[in-house]
Structure formats: C-alpha cells, structure tokens
Amino acid sequence: MYIHLMLTGAIGVIALVVAGIFAMQVMRADTGTQGMRDVAAAIKEGALAFLRRQYTTIALIGVVTAVLLLGVYYLTGRAELAVPTAISFLFGATLSGVAGIIGMWTSVHANLRSAAAAQTSLGKAIVVALRGGAVSGLTIVSLSLLGVSIIFTAFGGDPQTTP
C-alpha cells in the first residue's frame, strides 16, 4: 500500500509542476493593448469579488457540514471515525477552494493573453488558451491526488480505517 501512496503523491506533484510551467508560459504571453488590459482589470476585479462572496458562503456551509458529519458519526456509534472524517472533509474542501482560486486567476490572465495573441495568430491564441485551461485541469487533478495521498498517509494508509 505504501508504494501506491508514494506513486499517487509523486504523480500529484508532477502534475502540479507541469501546471506551474504552463502558468508561467501563459503569463509570459503578450497582454495586448491598454484597452484590453483595462477590460481585463475590470473582469479580474469582478472575478475576485465573486470569489470572496462565494467562498465566504462555501466556508460557512463547509464548517456546518463538518459539524454535521461529526454528529452523524457520533450518533451512529462510529465515534472513532468522526474527527478523521470531519478533518478529511475540511481538508478536501480547502484543496478544492485552492484549485478554484488558481483556476479563476489563470482564466482571467489567460483570457487576456489569448485575446491579445489572436490579434496576430489564431494558432498562438489557441496555444495560450489551451495552456490556461490545462493549468486549471492539472491543478484540480494534482491537488486531488495529493489530498488523497496525504489523508491516507495521515490516517495510516488502510482503506478500511481511512475516512
């Protein structure tokens, strides 16, 4: 079982590194005209406001859900799994939130750069757009793999006892 956890964690790290490389490539692309940058700044401001509001609500719901999980496990006589399950849930929710923030950040920046690239070459625009999308996808997958690996390792690596 140990080798599986190591392999899963390693794949998660590799995917995160590749996502980082793609993000750097996207960020090196031209940002276009001042007008394009102004529109992108307004979009970024709106996206950040949305994330702040959305994540405030999600955090509240996440904490309430974790408390409900604790209660359900205690009430059903599985108290030994109550805290590990609640911790695992909150850890997973946090990683999901991080992936969402990275995805939003990347999409805002990639959209501007893809539009700027489209002024000179549709091929370059597609490459920038696909790399931007790959950052989001790889981040979700890598954080999921790392999260599962960390949870399994932290709770002994036994599928029967790991929440």
| Predicted structure pTM score | 0.85
Buried b (16+ CB within 10 A) or exposed e, 4-25: ebeebbeebeebbeebeebbeb
State residue 1's pLDDT score. Answer: 60
Measured distance CA(107)–CA(115) in Å, rounded = 12
* Element (DSSP H or E) covering residue 108: helix 79-118
Spell out the domain ranges in the chain: 2-154
Measured distance CA(123)–CA(114) in Å, rounded = 10
Residue 71, SS3?
helix
Q: How many CB atoms lie within 10 A of CB 114?
A: 23
Q: How many CB atoms lie within 10 A of CB 57?
A: 9
19-53 pLDDT tens trace: 999 999 999 999 999 999 999 999 999 999 999 99
State residue 3's pLDDT score. Answer: 83
State residue 4's pLDDT score. Answer: 82
What are φ and ψ of residue 117, in 5° steps? Answer: -65, -30
Measured distance CA(63)–CA(66) in Å, rounded = 5
Parts of the chain with a pLDDT under 50: none
